[in-house]
Structure formats: structure tokens, C-alpha cells
Structure 1
Amino acid sequence: MFDCDVLVVGGGIVGLSTAYALTRAAPGTRVTVLEKEHAIARHQTGRNSGVIHSGIYYRPGSLKARFAVKGAAEMVKFCAEWGIPYEVTGKLVVATAREELPRLHALVQRGRENGIPVRELGPAQISEYEPRVRGLAAIHVGTTGICDYGAVSERLAEASGARILYGAEVTVIDRRPWGVAVRTADGRVVRARVLVNCAGLHCDRIARLAGDDPGMRIVPFRGEYYELADPSLVRGLVYPVPDPAFPFLGVHLTRGIDGGVHIGPNAVPALAREGYGWSVVHPRELAGTLAWPGSWAIARAHWRYGAGELRRSVSKRAFTEAVRRLLPVVSESDLRRAAPGVRAQAVLRDGTLVDDFLIREAARTVHVLNAPSPAATASLPIGREVATRALAHL
């Protein structure tokens, strides 16, 4: 009667980690993953900067803090065991203005509360780590690293033993007392005992198809990147002090596992859930975003911040100015456009930007409704959490 025990919607790193955890925790569990693209990790997983985050930014006791600290150590171990290139580089968080110093000191305290080793630096010590970076003060976070999350996803898929169906966009979900039946756009029907929704940019739509009110909407934000023509200008990872009023880290410098240095991202509203450029517009998705009251509440609360992000999106000069706060030697000619990404940001009706991971359950269903950065870093413990909940429904 059942094609599988657990049906996972979404072949990103969270969905694949869940499949991996399911078969590790309960050998013999039949797992199928539905992926609407023709390869795994095509969206958020494959379009990030590849950072293994330490967990320093996150509220102590939150799922983000717990999973990031644990997940960073596990991700390093996983990469080492599977021969996936990685490096524990450490990173600098640099204050470039006096008004940022109290926030920098608060980060030191938060890092210590989360059990993360943090070293405070003065201007001369900044130069020891990054000779071309300038700042009034900084902290060095030793547990931050880099890896290739696309390669991690491939290994998770292989090691899980799950059946992966590609080109399988979910169009109908029929949930009954005996289980769940899912129809895909190409007419396939898959029956399972339990459904796990890890659909990322489309997770709220999948929840509604299942008959559940997620209480939030995904509002997509595009992150635009440049890369340095001369990657020798930066040795490792350099971040500004984040603005606690907004869940984005600001324009930062990231040396990738391939040796290139990415700069960004900014954060601008995307006109489609997979809107990787201003020319990509999906009217129905855009209308859904505009119809959600929370979208307008965000605009009212953060219009000034958003205006700066839009300016940096359309003006390379403005983007370069933001970079020069950290790296004064940079000029416009040093920056080359790189591939953008889109972040699936969960927004409540009142405009609250959901800051933590959000996992909700219904009959025979587990929904992952918010898994922003550091979800890739924390994917192994998140996968275990979701798998535990799914197995309880069995």
C-alpha cells in the first residue's frame, strides 16, 4: 500500500540530512525524497558562501545557537570522514565606527555564553590576521570554517540510501488517517506513512497543500555577490558588526574553498521565490508576497535599511563603498559580479521576521518552515531533530 515510510519534500541540505538521519536512526526505514529540480541542492544550499558558522550571533538557548555550535563541529568531522574539502579558517568581526563598539562587545559576551572561543583584537592585531583590513577593534572567532555544501549534500544523499525522484514538483497532497498521498506535476503518485516538508523557498505552499495553516509566509530576499579580481587581498573571512534589528549579516568578505573571495551579500526583495535577478518576475508569487500583511509591516519598519540595500543593488559604486569600510584598498574595478542567491525568510502576519528555526507538526506531517543561515552548518543536528519527530509519527 505504501511506496515508502517517510516522504521528504525538498532535496536541499536539510531534506537530505533528514533522510540521512532517518536511515541512521532506524535502519530499514524506506525514505523517498521528492526534488522538483533535476539535481539536488540547486537553490539555497548550492548558492551560499560555504561558511561553517560558529554560532556566535545567535541567542543563547535558541535552536540556532544549539544547532550551529554542535553542527559546526559535526560538519568538520563529516567532511573529514568523507574526504570533502574543508578548512577551519577562523574569522574576524570588525568594528569600523565607534557606535559599533558596544555591539561588538555584546558579541563577545554572547560568544562566551554559547561556549565559543573569542579573542578581542585592537587595530594592530587586526593587521596581523588581515594586513589590508582596517577597523577600530575586532574579535577573532576560531571555530568558523568553510566547505562545499553541494559536495556535502551529494554525500548525504548517497549515504542515506534514500530514493530520490527528480523533476517531481508537488501539486497535490491528500492526507488521510492511514497516511499521505502526494501527486507530482508529471502525474506520479507517491504514498507514504509520514510526510516531511523541507521545501525551503516553497515550504509554506507545501504546508497549505497539506491542509495546514503555517501561520507565516516565505518572503524571498535576493542576496547579490561580487568576487575579488585579486583574491590575495583577503586571507580568510571578514565580517562587519551586524545590525541586531535585521537578520542579515551585512556585506562581508569570504574566502571560499576554491580560493576565490566572495563579497556580499546585500539583501533586496526578490520578485519571485527563485528570482535570481531583477528580470525574473513571477506575478502570482509576487502577488502572494504583497497580499501578506507582514510584507508591508517589514517595509514600514525597515524602509531606511531597505533603501540602502536597494542602492547597493543598482549601484556598483555604492556596493564598493560598503566594502571599502572593511577593505579600503578596493576599487570598483576590483569587483566582478558573481552568482546570486535567494533566502527564504519566514515572516509572521505582524511583520515579525522569524529569527530561529521553525519546525511545526500536524497529523502525519512535519513542516520545516524556517531554516535560514546557519541551516547548512547546522544541517546534521537539524536533520536528527526532524527525523526524530517524523519517526514518532510512525
Structure 2
Amino acid sequence: MTTAGGRFDCDVLVVGGGIVGLSTAYAITRAAPGTRVVVLEKESGPARHQTGRNSGVIHSGVYYRPGSLKARYAVQGAAEMVTFCAEHGLPYEVTGKLIVATERAELPRLHALAQRGRENGIPVRELGRAQIAEYEPRVRGIAALHVGTTGVCDFGAVAGRLARLAQEAGAEVRYGAEVRVIRRRADAVAVRTAGGAVLRARALVNCAGLHSDRVARLAGDAPGMRIVPFRGEYFELAPSRTDLVRALVYPVPDPAFPFLGVHLTRGIDGRVHVGPNAVPALAREGYGWGVVRPRELAGTVAYPGAWRIARRHWRYGAGEVRRSLSKRAFTEAVRRLLPEVSEGELIPAPSGVRAQAVLPDGTLVDDFLFAESARMVHVLNAPSPAATASLPIGREVARRVLAGLE
């Protein structure tokens, strides 16, 4: 492949220095050595938003519809992530997890998850009440599903290693480089950053996460969706009570939502994260109720899809907001799984924001979503399990952009 000459600063510009953008840059340098890649990240370092603000779970793929990109990439990505961490000396642990039913009404959904896991090629074990204690003696439930391939790692560390590997292969990663203007010509893409730098490339990849739809519109493309940000709020168990949880414990999820409910996660550092809930964020990077960006909030409020979500799911949303505003209500949700925990043993922890793509009719996009146009590849929806699946996602995006350069 012919690489960038004097008219171009690089072959491929990647917008976004989260784990997907960095995995894409890494994959391009491996698939087509000599291709000049520049990653533009507006923050001062990698993985400052979705990648670095989650509980670090390596998802097995048990939840996802068989045949979907999520299912395929999560199963493949989980195995690859464990191998990657082992090869590069990054902290990880394959802990397994329990998905626990606390009411009889949840049993059909639990059995359906077991079947879905088997269809996705994931080893699962169905447990009765007494068998739950073999894995989690302090957890209460009437039945559970044990998923042995689930684990934990530090996705921020993974993103940092991907950045270094891409740089060692010739890529450039520029931090503090927010993209403000994108212009497309017949044979090039030109970008101007907030600092005034102008770069010309043969192609652009949009991995902007919380801002992916905005970047697509900057490029002149109509993404057909909008990112509606949902904040996930976490607590941690007090250090004296981390013995209550051995590994990972999840409730049976509501099939109407892509959120997994309040769960318990023993991280790679030994701390036990509790959460998250899912409440509307008042800014795309709105990590608390006090973070409001009027222009972004107005864009969300004016979007028809957001109103349709609110009308359709207001009862669910009201419960999530209640748990956000009331620690007692949050504790009640935790005690369904872990009855011994008290309100005073939950310590506030940093929140995260999920970049959820929503269609105009109010449909929550439930799979990874890519779009292509002339000299552009857009990653429009890459929520969890995107970090788990980042290595195969990066290869897929690299394949698409390199095919466009041929």
C-alpha cells in the first residue's frame, strides 16, 4: 500500500484515545506496517473516560444475542484480553462470576441466559440455592449461573500499553489535541485541532466514544443516531468488609435494557465496586449531578429519541434516579444480593458515563454500530463490552479503513 507522501501528514487519523481508538491504531500498524497513523486525543493522556471509568470486568459474552457482534467479539475478545495481559505483564485474574436470581419470577430469565451462554460457546453451570455458597458464602439467592470465563483487569493499563506498542511501530499519539473542524476533499481529509494544528490524511477513523455522533456530523455525515449519556454511579465496600465478596456477583438483568443492574465486582486491586445504577447524565462527561453543560443537555432534551425513551421507561428510570439520590435506596438494591451489608459500609467511588446510541424512535442500540462513508469509518456505538472486545474491534476497524485506502 502506498503511504502518505508530501501532501499528507499521515495515512490514517484516529480521533479518540480510548481503548478502541488505540486498539485500532495498534491493529493498523500490525496489519499494514509502514502505514502512518496519528491518534488525536483531547485529554492529556489515554483512557480518561469510558475506558478508565469502569469496574474492569473482562466480560464472557453470556448476555449477548447469539450471532451479534457483541457476542462474537466478547467471546473472542475475552480470551484475547487474558492472553494480551499475560504476555505484557499486565494485572489480570480470571475469577468467574455468579448471576444470581433472588426471586422465583427471575428463574425463567436465568435459564434463558444459561441457554444463551451455551449457544455462544461459553461454559456455564446452573446452581441451586445451596451451591451458591460454594462460590459466594455471603450472597443470598434461590438459584444462580456460574460463568467461569469472566475475569478482571486494568483496562486503563491495557490502553496505555496499546498506545506504546502503536508508537513503537511508528504511530504518533497526540494528547491535548481536540478535533474542532473536519473537512473532506476528493482525495484527503483535513482536520484542525483546538490548538490550531492542521493535519491532512488519506482517511479518518472516528473512535470518539461519548462524542462519536458529534464527530460524524463534523465530518459531514448523518449518523442516524445520537449519543444519550447515562451516568453509572458506584460505591465501594469499606476495606473492613471486602471479605463479603470473593469475585463477581450480578443480578439477573432486565432484558429490556442493556444495563446490568447493581452488581458486586472485586477488582484487580482487591477493592469491591458496588454498582452502577444508570441515570441520565446532564453532560456527555457529566460524572455528577453538578456537572451540567447546557448546550449538550439541550441537544439531548431536543432529541425525539430521548423523549421516547423517557415515555416508554419512566418507571424504570424513576427507580434508578431514586437510587442515585438516596443511599438508603441504593443499599436496599445491594442487600438483595448481599444482605449483610449496611449503608455505612458503602463508600462513594468515582462514576462513569456510558455512551449509549439511541435511534430517533427511542430504540437503544443494542450492538456495536459502525458506519462508513468516503474516507471515513465511524464507530458509533461501542459501550460495554467494548473494552473486553477492543482487540477484535480494533482489527475490524483497521480492516475497514485499510480496505478503503487500497
* Common fold: TM-score over 0.5: yes
Aligned to 1:246: 257
Q: Give the match's secondary structure for 2:298.
A: helix
- Which consecutive aligned stretches of 4+ in structure 1 deviate over 4 angstroms post-superposition? none
Cα offset, 1:160, TM superposition? 1.1
**2:331 aligns with one of 314, 317, 320:** 320
The percentage of counterpart residues that share the same residue type is 81
Residues 280-301 of structure 1: CA deviation (Å, up to 9, x unaligned): 0000000000111000000011
- The CA distance in 1 between the partners of 2:266 and 2:52, in whole Å, is 16
List alignment gaps of at least 5 residues for structure 2.
1-6
Letter in 1 for 2:177: A
Residues 211-235 of structure 1: CA deviation (Å, up to 9, x unaligned): 0000000000000000000211100
**2:190 aligns with one of 159, 176, 181:** 181
**1:356 aligns with one of 367, 380, 386:** 367
Asked whether 1:96 is paired with 2:107, we answer no
Aligned to 2:148: 142
Residues 206-261 of structure 1: CA deviation (Å, up to 9, x unaligned): 00000000000000000000000021110000000000011100000000000000
Aligned to 1:126: 132
Asked whether 1:308 is paired with 2:314, we answer no
Q: What is the TM-score when the length of structure 1 is the normalising length?
A: 1.00
Aligned to 2:24: 18
- The CA distance in 2 between the partners of 1:268 and 1:157, in whole Å, is 32
Aligned to 2:71: 65
- The CA distance in 2 between the partners of 1:168 and 1:124, in whole Å, is 55
Letter in 2 for 1:132: R
**2:207 aligns with one of 158, 178, 198:** 198
- The CA distance in 2 between the partners of 1:205 and 1:70, in whole Å, is 30
Letter in 2 for 1:7: L
Aligned to 1:80: 86
Asked whether 1:167 is paired with 2:176, we answer yes
- The CA distance in 2 between the partners of 1:139 and 1:382, in whole Å, is 28
Letter in 1 for 2:154: D
Residues 194-216 of structure 1: CA deviation (Å, up to 9, x unaligned): 00000000000000000000000
Cα offset, 1:128, TM superposition? 1.0
- The CA distance in 2 between the partners of 1:306 and 1:321, in whole Å, is 17
Q: What is the TM-score when the length of structure 2 is the normalising length?
A: 0.97
Cα offset, 1:167, TM superposition? 1.1
Q: Give the match's secondary structure for 2:313.
A: helix
Aligned to 1:335: 346
Cα offset, 1:143, TM superposition? 0.3
Letter in 2 for 1:88: V
- The CA distance in 1 between the partners of 2:175 and 2:273, in whole Å, is 30
Q: Give the match's secondary structure for 1:46.
A: coil
- The CA distance in 2 between the partners of 1:90 and 1:280, in whole Å, is 36
Cα offset, 1:344, TM superposition? 0.2
- The CA distance in 2 between the partners of 1:171 and 1:87, in whole Å, is 40
Aligned to 2:4: none
- The CA distance in 2 between the partners of 1:315 and 1:115, in whole Å, is 40
- The CA distance in 2 between the partners of 1:177 and 1:145, in whole Å, is 46
Cα offset, 1:178, TM superposition? 1.0
Cα offset, 1:61, TM superposition? 0.3
Q: Give the match's secondary structure for 1:222.
A: strand
Letter in 1 for 2:392: P
Cα offset, 1:342, TM superposition? 0.3
Asked whether 1:345 is paired with 2:356, we answer yes
- The CA distance in 2 between the partners of 1:342 and 1:294, in whole Å, is 18
Asked whether 1:155 is paired with 2:161, we answer yes
List alignment gaps of at least 5 residues for structure 1.
none
- The CA distance in 2 between the partners of 1:177 and 1:291, in whole Å, is 34
**1:209 aligns with one of 200, 206, 218:** 218
The aligned runs of 1:261-272 (5 Å cut-off) are 261-272=272-283
Cα offset, 1:165, TM superposition? 1.0
Q: Give the match's secondary structure for 1:338.
A: strand
Aligned to 1:295: 306
Cα offset, 1:184, TM superposition? 0.6
Cα offset, 1:166, TM superposition? 1.1
Letter in 1 for 2:396: E
Letter in 2 for 1:286: L
- The CA distance in 2 between the partners of 1:75 and 1:240, in whole Å, is 24
